[in-house]
Amino acid sequence: MKGHFISFEGPDGAGKTSVLKALVDKFQPRLGQRLLVTREPGGDPLSEQLRKLLFDDRNRGMDDRTEALLFAAARRQHVVSVLEPALAAGKVVFSDRYVDSSVAYQGGGRQLGEQAVWDINAFATQGVMPELTIYLDVPSEVGIQRILQKRQNQVNRLDREALSFHHRVRKAYLRLLAQDPSRIQKIDATQPFDKVIADAGDVLRQFDPAIFG
């Protein structure tokens, strides 16, 4: 049985986590233990500790390159301890974010350069890449508005960045989409929630009808 690695991406406020939850509810009965849901930064104990460091408000002074390296370090540990064993065991892995997030947020948002961020992540991932990426697209203004309305108690250090930062993040995502249109499938996340889920289901069905059909 071949494993599948599918990542979910999007700017803050795209509704990615709710979409992922709905898709898990939809496919879990069929896939059972074969479905593994994980997230970045995080997914294993060491990476979850790095997540805490990355989002801790006490670390407001964190240097941008330090931030990029910590995301890459968390990713490395996640690859080795979660993703590779799961894929080797034939699991279907849904990851809430992966390397595209670093390219968009650190490369684009923080302006470290998309290629520089790819380079440190090539060291971290050793070529482990999703076969399919579902990208939930939302204009920055809409995304930020949603965060402020819905998640007031859980806004993180990155959510609080200026609108210009979020514009750069989205632009970088759209560049990634243009560079790799066969891997990355865009869904308009401003549509009603049920339509977003239906579109995501269609993308998954086309990707592997035997599993998601």
Q: Which residue is nearest to ligand TMP (CB)?
A: 105
> Mask of contacts with ligand TMP, 144-173, x by CB under 6 A?
--------------xx--------------
Nearer Cβ to ligand TMP, position 34 or 82?
82
Among 4, 76, 78, 97, binds ligand TMP (CB under 6 A): 97
**Contacts of ligand TMP in 65-84 (CB under 6 A):** 71
Nearer Cβ to ligand TMP, position 40 or 199?
40
**Could you identify the residue written with the tokens 């809409």?**
142
Of the CA atoms within 13 Å of residue 163, those in its CB half-sphere come to: 8
Q: Does 135 bind ligand TMP (CB under 6 A)?
A: no
Query: Cα(38)–Cα(36) distance, rounded to whole angstroms?
Result: 6
Nearer Cβ to ligand TMP, position 3 or 15?
15
Q: Does 137 bind ligand TMP (CB under 6 A)?
A: no
Cα maximum dimension of the chain: 48
How many angstroms from the chain centroid is the CA of residue 127? 17
Among 5, 27, 105, 135, binds ligand TMP (CB under 6 A): 105
Helix residue spans in the chain (DSSP H): 16-31, 45-55, 64-78, 84-88, 99-102, 114-125, 140-150, 163-179, 193-207, 209-212
Q: Are 147 and 13 in contact (CB under 8 A)?
A: yes
| Residues engaged in binding ligand TMP (CB under 6 A) | 12, 40-41, 71, 97, 101-102, 105-106, 158-159
